Amino acid sequence: NAGVTQTPKFQVLKTGQSMTLQCAQDMNHNSMYWYRQDPGMGLRLIYYSASEGTTDKGEVPNGYNVSRLNKREFSLRLESAAPSQTSVYFCASSEGRSSVFALYGYTFGSGTRLTVV
């Protein structure tokens, strides 16, 4: 099925550990995004990639790095996890190369539930 695939679905890390969240889309979309979802905060943009080879910071980039490996894949890395990074992480993609805003909407992955203890 066409869509956005995120791995893993669940992860528990100890403070200070590192990990990479993977995201892949098979819709030939140009733009990809990483969001985090926290209670009462809605979804907040961490990083985005308007096209292959480019990445930009979003609203809450501190503590994260990203890589746009190719057109399909956009990974999110936590170098030294902190309890404040406990959250649900969503990857999304969209057509076009319009930076943050996708005029025709987004396709989201199922999310990765990350707990840092």
Partner 1 sequence: SNSVKQTGQITVSEGASVTMNCTYTSTGYPTLFWYVEYPSKPLQLLQRETMENSKNFGGGNIKDKNSPIVKYSVQVSDSAVYYCLLGCSGANSKLTFGKGITLSVRP
Residues that bind partner 1 (CB under 8 A): 3-4, 40-45, 90, 92, 98-111
User: How is 31-93 classified by DSSP, letter by letter?
Assistant: EEEEEEEETTTEEEEEEEESSTT--EE-S--TT-EEEE-SSSBEEEEESS--GGG-EEEEEEE
- Nearer Cβ to partner 1 (15/99): 99
* Residue closer to partner 1 (CB basis): 19 or 43: 43
Rounded to a whole number of angstroms, the minimum distance from the CB of residue 74 to partner 1 is 15
Q: What are phi and psi of 114, to 5 degrees?
A: -110, 130
For residue 100, the minimal CB distance to partner 1 (Å) is 5
* CB-nearer residue toward partner 1: 63 or 111: 111
Minimal distance, residue 107 CB to partner 1, in Å: 7
Dihedrals φ, ψ of 48, to 5°? -145, 165
